[in-house]
Amino acid sequence: MQLPILFLGELVVLPGMVVPIELDESSRSAVDTARASSDGRLVVAPRLSDRYASYGVIAEIVQEGRLASGEPAAVLRAGRRVKISSGVAGPGTALWVETDDVDTGTVDDGVRELAKEYKSLVIATLQRRDAWQVIDNVQKITDPDQLADLAGYASWLSDDRKRELLETPEVAERLRLLTEWTRDHIAETEVNDKIAGDVREGMEKSQREFLLRQQLNAIRKELGEDEPDGADDYRSRVEAADLPEQVREAALREVGKLERSSDSTPEAGWIRTWLDTVLDLPWNTTTTDNTDIAAARQVLDADHHGLEDVKDRMIEYLAVRSRRAERGMHVVGGRGSGAVLALAGPPGVGKTSLGESVARALGRKFVRVALGGVRDEAEIRGHRRTYVGALPGRIVRAIGEAGSMNPVVLLDEIDKVGSDYRGDPSSALLEVLDPAQNHTFRDHYLEVDLDLSDVLFLATANVIENIPGPLLDRMELVTIDGYTEDDKINIARDFLLPKQRELAALDADEVEITDAALREIAANYTREPGVRQLERLLAKGLRKVATRLAQGVDGKVIIDEPNLTEFLGRPRFTPEAHERTSVPGVATGLAVTGLGGDVLFVEANAVDGERGLTLTGQLGEVMKESAHIALSYVRAHAEQLGIADPSVLDRRIHVHVPAGAIPKDGPSAGVTMVTALTSMATGRPVRGDVGMTGEVTLNGRVLPIGGVKQKLLAAQRAGLSAVFVPQRNEPDLDEVPAEVLEALTVVPSTDVAALVEAALEPADRAASVAA
């Protein structure tokens, strides 16, 4: 008989079996061919690695469908066993073979006796598995041949043995093989059961010994003799430790659990770790604050130049605390006299180093907690003790590292805390930084109240807007703006230069950097609110001096303004406002970024095309709205602004704000955009020494903005001489250093038209420049 053949690699099918198969490309081809050309019949044979199978079964396709996973499948019912003789040609894409019937031998009394013995072995195996329904089906089988092929369902037979049964046509030989294999399986099962029983008895014995040992410990404890080590050691440590009452009760409860548990259980390890953590914390240990206000101020002044707001706040804190201590006044309700300050400002102004200086001035321990990039809430509140490798949060660990309950804790980069599926660490900080709640701070690992009310928390941030509102509301904000040029010179001379000289192994007798050189470095080599780049340049110059001295140069090396390029190269920054605004349509604005204040150029141009507005430079939504408002105002007030030909505003207007790679947003560029558009429309360039900032309305009113101090510092660094600010920002000028106000002419403005007229070059001069 000629039939298509299907090879199965993971299943051996014996006569009488009904099996589902997953249809891949080759099996689909065989099934389709069988459906089309052989009445749904095909030969099913095992796939062998070294040869083609010589035996198989003729199977009938019962059903086609899909598995639960959605893959196509078919159900086959196996019939009689056949011998595969050779491959033949056939229709379809499947492989066809020639099959011959096989002789299974005669069924005599000997075969029936073998079948009876094998059936009893199968029933005994199934009884061990409580497969009673299968036993009923086996009892009904009387045909020895059918009984032998039933082994295709046996889970204890390997595929190789099932393949051997398929290739053994004689029923007597198959029954002998199955009888031998089943006996071996039963013997192996009995051994495994005996081993499992021994293990179970051993566990019961261990539990019995544990209970007896606990009873023995209790008896010894009553008698007061030979008490065991370990748990008792922890009990004595807890009783001797200076712990708050509620912490002592929780610790004694855990010691009781430890006494009732076996040393080998994981819970005993967790309890020991928890007790060690609790006993290592300085529950009632505090340091004595320095009450000498003048000495504290000297420490702060010696470590940092300027930063008067922070220094004044620390002295106020120390003065109030000192007076309360003198008068014996204690805070009611368990709340201490700690404080939570947020130091916000650009990089390099000394926020992080200020924390250690404050701790030294107050006479307290200092510990720093880096929060940049923290995204797991458990980093703040700790892990539950049930987790493997659980630890208390960073706040508790900081208290343990400090060794006192009133340290100065610096929460560095609090504006860079993130959140993801592991929780929001900034929300966990709400309880830590709330003076009304942190006297009962509860860490998930400790699960006891920890009093943080005496801790002085200092948080640092670059961008206030990145701090969540509820968290910022719990902190007292102290803004640290950038340094003036004079500040940088003083810091470089008094702090940075001695430090870098020591690092370069140089003495004051070997090298000198003049104030003129320092001023040139601060003005034209760096343009930053802080002093980090300034310190790097000083280090670079001193390294070159050390190299010259190592090469045999004699005498003292003096770095002055004329020879500065020999040590630091050419200046990196030069005033560019005059050059950028020399053509109409360019105005100089002022902005605040995460790095401090900076100048911002706004360019406007009219091009051929449909009337409209094109904005480029990675502008945010608020800044885009400012550009539309500015253009609407200029079109509506063209005559007032002196625009002789308003038709230029009906062309395609393009407004660009370099640099295009930096995102920008905010309303404070409104007056700058009005000035740039008016300059473009009138052909009058904007004065090169003028900067401006302020929000503008459709009626031309100049509204107040933020960051006036930082913007004026940036204007001074950029070499501007006049700055237009909103009149309602005049009170903010009190915070601007006197030397900055002396170097700049600050013009308060309320009407943008008057501002534009003062900012543009006179018409006659503009005409002469154009000519």
CATH number, domain at 88?
2.30.130.40
pLDDT class of 771 with cuts at 50, 70, 90 = very low
Residue pair 698/633 in contact by the 8 Å Cβ criterion: yes
Has 432 been labeled as part of a binding site?
A: no
Residue pair 249/278 in contact by the 8 Å Cβ criterion: no
Considering the domain architecture, whether residues 236 and 257 belong to the same structural domain is answered as yes
Residue pair 630/613 in contact by the 8 Å Cβ criterion: no
Note whether residue 196 is domain-resident: no
Residue in 426, 668, 679, 749 annotated catalytic: 668
Q: Which of 107-111, 116-120, 337-341 has the lowest mean pLDDT?
A: 337-341
Q: Is the peptide bond before 659 cis (omega within 30 degrees of 0)?
A: yes
For residue 492, is pLDDT > 50? yes
* CA-based nearest residue to 278, from 238, 230, 229: 238
For residue 334, is pLDDT > 70? no
For residue 201, is pLDDT > 80? no
- Which of these three, 101, 126, 148, is where a domain ends? 101
Has 348 been labeled as part of a binding site?
A: yes
- State both tokens at 358: 């404050």
CATH number of the domain at 529, please. Answer: 1.10.8.60
Note whether residue 605 is domain-resident: yes
Q: What is the phi/psi pair of residue 614, to 5°?
A: -110, 130
- State both tokens at 134: 């299968």
pLDDT of residue 393: 80
Considering the domain architecture, whether residues 451 and 331 belong to the same structural domain is answered as yes
Residue pair 351/460 in contact by the 8 Å Cβ criterion: yes
pLDDT class of 228 with cuts at 50, 70, 90 = very low
Collapsed DSSP state (helix, strand, coil) of residue 219:
helix
CA atoms of 181 and 148, how far apart (whole Å): 12
Residue in 37, 426, 711, 749 annotated catalytic: 711
pLDDT of residue 726: 92
Greatest extent of the chain over all pairs of C-alpha atoms, in Å? 131
Asked about 668 being catalytic, the answer comes back as yes
- Which of these three, 447, 478, 509, is where a domain ends? 478
Considering the domain architecture, whether residues 123 and 269 belong to the same structural domain is answered as no
Considering the domain architecture, whether residues 589 and 440 belong to the same structural domain is answered as no
Residue pair 236/351 in contact by the 8 Å Cβ criterion: no
Highest mean pLDDT among 197-201, 265-269, 752-756: 752-756
Note whether residue 588 is domain-resident: yes
Note whether residue 64 is domain-resident: yes
pLDDT class of 225 with cuts at 50, 70, 90 = low
Considering the domain architecture, whether residues 468 and 494 belong to the same structural domain is answered as no
* CA-based nearest residue to 139, from 171, 116, 112, 107: 116
List the domain range (segments joined by +) for residue 63: 2-101
Has 373 been labeled as part of a binding site?
A: no
Average pLDDT over residues 751-761: 88
- Which of these three, 53, 72, 101, is where a domain ends? 101
Residue pair 100/83 in contact by the 8 Å Cβ criterion: yes
Contacts of 769 (CB under 8 A, 6+ apart): 685, 761
Note whether residue 650 is domain-resident: yes
Considering the domain architecture, whether residues 557 and 590 belong to the same structural domain is answered as no
- State both tokens at 573: 């920054």
Considering the domain architecture, whether residues 236 and 129 belong to the same structural domain is answered as no
pLDDT class of 764 with cuts at 50, 70, 90 = low
Average pLDDT over residues 486-496: 83
Considering the domain architecture, whether residues 472 and 489 belong to the same structural domain is answered as no
CA atoms of 45 and 599, how far apart (whole Å): 82
**What are the tens digits of pLDDT across the range 503-546?**
888 888 888 888 888 888 887 788 777 788 888 888 888 888 88
How many domains does one find in the chain?
6
DSSP 199-226: HHHHHHHHHHHHHHHHHHHHHHHHHT-S
For residue 230, is pLDDT > 80? no
CA atoms of 534 and 318, how far apart (whole Å): 33
Average pLDDT over residues 447-471: 83
Note whether residue 340 is domain-resident: yes
* CA-based nearest residue to 513, from 579, 554, 450, 561: 561
For residue 202, is pLDDT > 80? no
Considering the domain architecture, whether residues 96 and 146 belong to the same structural domain is answered as no
pLDDT class of 574 with cuts at 50, 70, 90 = low
Collapsed DSSP state (helix, strand, coil) of residue 476:
strand
- State both tokens at 471: 């968290």
pTM for the structure as a whole: 0.57
CATH number of the domain at 335, please. Answer: 3.40.50.300
Q: Which of 44-48, 479-483, 653-657 has the lowest mean pLDDT?
A: 479-483
CA atoms of 51 and 47, how far apart (whole Å): 8
Q: Which of 325-334, 457-466, 494-503 has the lowest mean pLDDT?
A: 325-334
Considering the domain architecture, whether residues 459 and 509 belong to the same structural domain is answered as no
CA dihedral in degrees (457, 461, 463, 465; nearest 10)? Answer: -20
For residue 695, is pLDDT > 80? yes
CA atoms of 32 and 48, how far apart (whole Å): 23
Note whether residue 521 is domain-resident: yes
For residue 770, is pLDDT > 60? no
- State both tokens at 6: 């299907």
CATH number of the domain at 616, please. Answer: 3.30.230.10
**What are the tens digits of pLDDT across the range 36-50?**
887 888 888 888 877
* CA-based nearest residue to 121, from 93, 89, 146, 154: 154
Note whether residue 195 is domain-resident: no
Q: What is the phi/psi pair of residue 57, to 5°?
A: -130, 150
- State both tokens at 574: 């030069």
Has 350 been labeled as part of a binding site?
A: yes
pLDDT class of 601 with cuts at 50, 70, 90 = confident
pLDDT of residue 766: 52
CA atoms of 183 and 177, how far apart (whole Å): 10
**Is residue 223 packed enough to be buried (19+ CB in 10 Å), middle (13-18) or exposed (0-12)?**
exposed
- State both tokens at 414: 């609090």
Considering the domain architecture, whether residues 266 and 353 belong to the same structural domain is answered as no
For residue 609, is pLDDT > 50? yes
Residue 332: alpha-carbon gap to chain centroid: 40
pLDDT of residue 769: 47
For residue 252, is pLDDT > 60? yes
pLDDT class of 263 with cuts at 50, 70, 90 = low
Average pLDDT over residues 317-330: 73
CA atoms of 697 and 68, how far apart (whole Å): 65
pLDDT of residue 106: 79
Considering the domain architecture, whether residues 684 and 764 belong to the same structural domain is answered as yes
Q: Which of 65-69, 84-88, 744-748, 765-769 has the lowest mean pLDDT?
A: 765-769
